[in-house]
Chain A
Amino acid sequence: MAGESGGECNRTNAFVVSARKRTLQKIAKTAGEGMLFSVASFVAVIVLFIFYFVARDAVPFFQIRGFSEFFTSSNWYPADDPARFGAFAIIYGSLMVTFGSALIAVPMGVAAAICLSDILPFSIRQYAKPVIEMLAAIPSVAFGFFALVILAPLLQNNGGPLLMWAWWILVSPFMVLAVIVLSDLLTTKITDQERRQQLHIFFLILFGLLSVFLLFKVGTILYGIQILTGTNALNVSIILSFMALPTIVSVSEDALQAVGRDIREGSYALGATRAETIIKTVLPAGSSGILAAVILGIMRALGETMVVWMASGNSSQVPEPWFNYLQAIRTLTATIAGDMGEADQVTGSARFHVLFAMGLLLLVISFISNLVSERIVVRQRKILSGQ
């Protein structure tokens, strides 16, 4: 009995808070909140500061040289006398490798995310996802070294066969799918069962032969290509797509996971197959997250410097013809990195400020695409919740 009452006593004591403790707690609360707030606002202020300081040093360039040369000319001779600051080819190169890497990384990344979230068993996914995310931990200079020392000579010496194999491996699954779907679609309207089956088989064979012909024809054309220089837009696009992949896979897999089990089961309950569930239910529901993942991945590719500096060849030219990924290009990031050392305020101001103009351009591009993606995400969410 005595022990029990003692316990009671202790408990009441624990709940009674002395005045001193209360003030201490108040102080701790205010201090903690204040600290968290200042850290959060510090991050926001940093973004504003970067914008301000980059813009402050970029504006003088346009004041000195105007806009037209920077955006329309491809003559980039900042060190020559007279200096010329035509950045069109450089802007074009940046967009080119970003587009190229997105072309490789987005389909691959989204497909891998679907595979991870809806197809692989949980036990495998647990290991596969961290392994893919490990790609993000590889420093970019290691990627650049790989691109320069291994991929570039490989492209030069075995570029044709390599392109052919890539074409075969990447395109043949899509070809098979297309053949099946096409012949299915062309025969659904026919009511006569026997005739339909005959026609179906006929179309399968016809399209099958056609696609095999196409595969081999394009393959031989690609086989014959001799790549002159291995440090080119293709090399950079491939490496950048590897670097963007972990972001795209990881974020879109999270988005697909967030769709939830109940929606998937609802779809199955309505009699949908797994493919139908993925394509018609899960992907639309997760599309805003996937879009965010894609934008993040593309930003990674646009802002990457080291790999591009090492492996793009850094030639200030618009390739000939304009879609030729097998020629050397130069990007905004690599130009900033490469020319910053020499371009001091003391040795010619336009040369210094032009790099900030490029930085501002990069900032503006990423800012706009972030805004656009935000808009699309919001709209998508509205549409989905409206239904």
Chain B
Amino acid sequence: MKFQSYPVAAYLAGKPTKTRIDIMIKKISLFIVLLALISVAAGAAVNTLVLDGSTTVGPLAKTFAAYFTKKYGVRVTVSESGSGNGAKSLINGSCTIATMSRAMKAAEIAAARQKGVNPVATIVALDGLAMVVHPANPVRSLTKAQISSIYRGAITNWREVGGPNTRIVVIQRESNSGTEESFKELVIGKGVPVTGSAETQSSNGSVKSRVSTTLSAIGFLGHGFVDGSVKVIAVNGVLPTVAAVKSGIYPVSRPLYFYTNGQPSGVVKQFVDLPKSAEGKRMITELGFINR
């Protein structure tokens, strides 16, 4: 009777009476068994697609995912950790589809082969990289050479390109970003360093928020991220419109990719083929990307 209030002591002392701790252990084990049963059942019923990679492709992948889940009942999870991380995830086998805003590099493909992964690219859509400035900035158009000079640090004042007399705040993306790599390749050229005073932001959203609040800033965004808070400037006199990107006149545009391990089949193929369907095309246009 004394032990009633100390179930642990009673248990240790080997009391034969049924104490609270016994009941508790029984309840807990029952709960665990139930949980295991439920999770096994859930795992068997639904197979999931895991997408990881570019923040540019992110909104598109999410919209596709919502549509796909509704239509086929397949659960799709989307992470946005940068194109480089997407490639890494695919190589490590931690995602089914890597979303990338640049093509895989030779080193990445070699690393994938080494691990027995065969990356296959599917082009989802086209994306123009919009050069953006603060809405109050009077500059309307820059040449590709001028933009390159700004990012290399050769031009540091807006006065030199027909703007007000203020220093230019150059905003780029971090080295993890496919958008950054595309921009470097398309505008500055490979292996040419960006000026050390360039600020680095980690996503399209934070570039937009910095440019929209900084009078003398210049940055680049995926076309789908542009809204009224920033002003798009023309490159070589061409604005990144749908027609200009599609026909290739706009100089700073790139394809967006879904990378899969081997030729896509089954559910993965269904997902990767979404951009070809009318519904997929509608979603691409709605999000500000451009159909191929």
Contacts and interface: CB of A to CB of B under 8 A. Distances in A.
A89 B82 contact: no
- Candidate in A78, A81, A328, A339 with the most chain B CB atoms within 10 angstroms: A328
Nearest to A24: B12
B202 A81 contact: no
A297 interface: no
A347 to B, nearest CB: 5
Contacts of A330: 200
B146 interface: no
A21 B15 CA distance: 12
A75 B191 CA distance: 13
Interface in A297-352: 309-310, 313-317, 327-328, 330, 338-339, 341-342, 344, 346-348
Interface in A51-83: 74-82
A97 B191 CA distance: 31
A47 to B, nearest CB: 28
A82 B192 CA distance: 9
A332 B215 CA distance: 28
A328 B197 CA distance: 7
A74 B88 CA distance: 29
B88 A344 contact: yes
A28 to B, nearest CB: 7
A309 B202 contact: yes
A80 B191 contact: yes
B198 interface: yes
Interface stretch (B38-46, B58-66, B168-176): B168-176
A24 B13 contact: yes
B201 interface: yes
B182 to A, nearest CB: 13
B190 A346 contact: no
Nearest to A330: B200
A198 B88 CA distance: 80
Nearest to B175: A79
Contacts of A74: 196
Interface in B176-213: 176, 181, 190-194, 196-202, 206, 209-210, 213
A89 B196 contact: yes
Interface stretch (A163-171, A187-195, A223-231, A264-272): A223-231
B154 to A, nearest CB: 16
B43 to A, nearest CB: 29
B245 interface: no
A231 B210 contact: yes
Contact of A315 (B85, B105, B190, B198): B198
Contact of A229 (B81, B85, B206, B214): B214
A81 B191 contact: yes
A93 to B, nearest CB: 11
Nearest to B192: A80
B13 A317 contact: no
A256 interface: no
A153 interface: yes
Given A339-B175, A342-B82, A346-B107, A152 B199 contact: no
Contacts of B190: 81
B161 interface: no
B123 interface: no
B175 A230 contact: no
B47 interface: no
Contacts of B224: none
Contacts of B84: 341-342, 344, 347
B26 interface: no
Q: B interface, how many residues as a size bin?
A: 35 or more
Contacts of A89: 196
A338 B175 contact: yes
A50 B59 CA distance: 38
A339 B216 contact: no
Contacts of B176: 338-339, 341-342
B197 A346 contact: no
Interface in A86-136: 89
B242 interface: no
B213 A156 contact: yes
A3 to B, nearest CB: 17
B252 interface: no
A348 B111 CA distance: 11
Nearest to B107: A347
Interface string B77-120: 00001101100100100000000000001011011001000000
Contacts of B114: 346
B4 interface: no
A235 to B, nearest CB: 12
A339 B85 CA distance: 11
B196 A76 contact: yes
Contact of A148 (B13, B175, B191, B206): B206
B167 interface: yes
Contacts of B88: 341, 344
Contacts of B175: 78-79, 338-339, 342
A310 B202 CA distance: 8
Nearest to B210: A231
A330 B198 CA distance: 10
Contacts of A339: 174-176
29 contacts: A75-B193, A82-B191, A148-B210, A152-B213, A156-B213, A228-B166, A229-B169, A229-B199, A229-B214, A230-B213, A231-B210, A310-B202, A310-B206, A313-B199, A314-B174, A314-B200, A315-B196, A317-B197, A327-B197, A328-B199, A341-B81, A342-B84, A342-B175, A344-B88, A346-B114, A347-B105, A347-B108, A347-B111, A348-B107
Given A156-B213, A310-B202, A310-B206, 7 more contacts: A79-B175, A228-B216, A229-B169, A315-B196, A315-B198, A338-B175, A344-B88
Ordered nearest first, which 10 A-B pairs have the shortest CB separation? A314-B200, A346-B111, A342-B84, A153-B213, A313-B199, A341-B176, A79-B175, A317-B196, A341-B85, A342-B176
